[in-house]
């Protein structure tokens, strides 16, 4: 329950809102919505990024309009808090960049986003980067989300910012889960994939600290030709590290000229079989990303294991609604652009111009992605297209056509 203990007029350095009216909610200062500054310095980027799909009309400022009603909701909203990272540009320049991005999507706007996620009853809100620790408002945002009953997960990088004490502070703020990247079971493999010497060692060390603080751990792995042979050792390592969730992201290349590391259709099928078998024996949850056709694989297994009691058609009919592109996931980039996937460089609009619910429910991009009749090639005639639909990000990267058939699916409808 949120208790309003008083109205305060405060000098607010952290939230870069000078002399804003705030409400003290369980010790968290919340800038009032009416005092939120508008951001104009990224308008040009937004216009360029959204040109293909067009912005929803008739909205000058998201803050002036209450969120509309919505009929559907995402299952997960991920916000890229910053692109800045000391590994890319050194600590000094990363700090400058993070400060610039904190002005682009301000703390007040971040609080507004948390409010929207809360009112849409989104089951999971994920914060990622770059290095989120570079944003000076990270802890207040997590605290505010906890006060709004928003379950929040945070993906961290083992940079010099990540001291052991940070984990306890995050837990105290109400963080629900912490995530790390591990692309291999050994230091040479992971450090080679990430390009950061020492990052494997530091990640496994800090996971021990997370267990001390009883903060559940998620591991994210981008699976490609470079590490697909490492699946069994990874499963052993993650068992030893006692993680709660393994998020396996199948590589989506930047474009077809950078697709050498991407697994082919047979490779995807091979990994699906291994993940399915592993999911029956490991104690942690395994989740996939950019592998919508893993759902088709699971349905096929269900039909097979029913020993003739269920036909493939019956299994498909009873299948839960898919969470494919446009349905279950929303990615908000560091400029506030709302996208169906981190790996799909198309924007439905910006959170500073439109409520998130409006972009998710009504934007031409999200609406068209939910329309399976737009799919082409074998995905168009596939009986599981409403559950699967293929990775639109991969189809777009490989063909330039958002609705082309998934290039890495071995199934022939």
Q: Given the rule CB under 6 A, which residues bind ligand SF4?
A: 293, 296, 378-379, 382, 384-385, 388-390, 405-406, 409, 411, 413
Name the token pair of 302. Answer: 């269900």
3-state secondary structure of 143: helix
Shortest Cβ 402–ligand SF4 spacing (Å): 14
Name the token pair of 291. Answer: 């592998």
How many whole angstroms separate alpha carbon 281 and alpha carbon 43? 50
Dihedral over alpha carbons 128, 134, 135, 140 (to 10 degrees): 90
3-state secondary structure of 250: strand
CB 108 within 8 A of CB 155: no
CB 350 within 8 A of CB 46: yes
How many whole angstroms separate alpha carbon 371 and alpha carbon 263? 27
Shortest Cβ 405–ligand SF4 spacing (Å): 6
Shortest Cβ 380–ligand SF4 spacing (Å): 8
Shortest Cβ 250–ligand SF4 spacing (Å): 12
From first CA to last CA, the distance across the chain in angstroms is 51
CB 243 within 8 A of CB 193: no
Instruction: CB nearer to ligand SF4: give 101 or 406.
Output: 406
Residue nearest to ligand SF4 (CB): 382
Instruction: CB nearer to ligand SF4: give 46 or 293.
Output: 293
Instruction: CB nearer to ligand SF4: give 90 or 413.
Output: 413
Shortest Cβ 339–ligand SF4 spacing (Å): 20
Instruction: CB nearer to ligand SF4: give 161 or 312.
Output: 312
Instruction: CB nearer to ligand SF4: give 54 or 413.
Output: 413
How many whole angstroms separate alpha carbon 291 and alpha carbon 347? 21
Dihedral over alpha carbons 312, 317, 322, 326 (to 10 degrees): 120
Name the token pair of 252. Answer: 């989506």
Shortest Cβ 411–ligand SF4 spacing (Å): 4
Shortest Cβ 330–ligand SF4 spacing (Å): 21
Instruction: CB nearer to ligand SF4: give 169 or 269.
Output: 269
Write the CA distances from 133 to 86, 98, 169, 247, 249, integer angstroms: 11, 9, 12, 21, 23
Q: In 3D, which of 326, 290, 257, 256 has the Cα closest to residue 409? A: 290
CB 327 within 8 A of CB 360: no
Shortest Cβ 99–ligand SF4 spacing (Å): 42
Instruction: CB nearer to ligand SF4: give 188 or 413.
Output: 413
Shortest Cβ 387–ligand SF4 spacing (Å): 8
3-state secondary structure of 222: strand
| DSSP output for 54-114 | -PPSS-S-GGGSPPPP-S---SEEEEE-----HHHH-HHHHHHHHHHHHHHS-HHHHHHHH
Instruction: CB nearer to ligand SF4: give 252 or 361.
Output: 252
How many whole angstroms separate alpha carbon 353 and alpha carbon 366? 16
Instruction: CB nearer to ligand SF4: give 294 or 366.
Output: 294
3-state secondary structure of 209: helix
Instruction: CB nearer to ligand SF4: give 173 or 387.
Output: 387
Shortest Cβ 346–ligand SF4 spacing (Å): 19
């Amino acid at each position: 329950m949120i208790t309003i203990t008083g109205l305060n007029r405060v000098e607010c350095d952290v939230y870069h809102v000078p002399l804003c009216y705030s409400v003290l909610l369980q010790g968290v200062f919340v800038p009032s919505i009416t005092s939120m500054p508008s951001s104009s310095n990224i308008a040009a980027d937004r216009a360029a990024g959204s040109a293909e799909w067009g912005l929803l009309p008739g909205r000058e400022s998201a803050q002036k309009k209450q969120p509309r009603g919505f009929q559907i909701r995402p299952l997960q909203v991920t916000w890229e808090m910053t692109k800045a990272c000391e590994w890319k540009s050194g600590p000094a320049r990363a700090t400058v960049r993070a400060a610039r991005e904190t002005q682009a999507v301000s703390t007040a706007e971040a609080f507004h986003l948390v409010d929207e996620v809360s009112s849409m009853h989104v089951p999971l809100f994920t914060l990622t980067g770059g290095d989120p620790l570079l944003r000076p408002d990270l802890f207040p945002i997590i605290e505010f989300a906890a006060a709004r009953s928003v379950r929040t997960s945070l993906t961290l990088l083992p940079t010099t910012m990540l001291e052991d004490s940070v984990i306890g502070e995050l837990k105290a703020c109400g963080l629900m889960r912490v995530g790390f990247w591990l692309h291999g079971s050994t230091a040479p493999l992971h450090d080679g994939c990430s390009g950061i010497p020492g990052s494997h060692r530091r990640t496994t060390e800090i996971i021990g600290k997370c267990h001390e603080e009883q903060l559940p751990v998620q591991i994210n792995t981008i699976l490609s030709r470079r590490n697909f042979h490492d699946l069994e050792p990874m499963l052993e390592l993650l068992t030893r590290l006692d993680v709660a969730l393994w998020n396996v992201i199948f590589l989506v290349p930047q474009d077809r000229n950078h697709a050498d590391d991407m697994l082919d259709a047979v490779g995807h099928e091979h990994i699906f079989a291994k993940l399915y078998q592993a999911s029956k024996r490991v104690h942690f949850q395994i989740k996939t990303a950019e592998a919508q056709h893993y759902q088709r694989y699971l349905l096929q297994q269900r039909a097979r294991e029913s020993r003739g009691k269920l036909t493939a058609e019956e299994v498909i009919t009873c299948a839960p609604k898919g969470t494919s592109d446009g349905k279950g996931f929303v990615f908000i980039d560091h400029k506030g652009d709302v996208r169906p996937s981190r790996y799909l460089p198309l924007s439905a609009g910006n959170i500073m111009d439109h409520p998130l619910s409006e972009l998710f429910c009504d934007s031409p991009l999200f609406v068209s992605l939910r329309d399976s009749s737009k799919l082409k090639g074998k995905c168009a005639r596939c009986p599981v297209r409403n559950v699967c639909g293929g990775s639109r990000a991969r189809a777009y990267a490989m063909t330039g056509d958002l609705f082309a058939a998934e290039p890495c699916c071995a199934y022939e409808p």
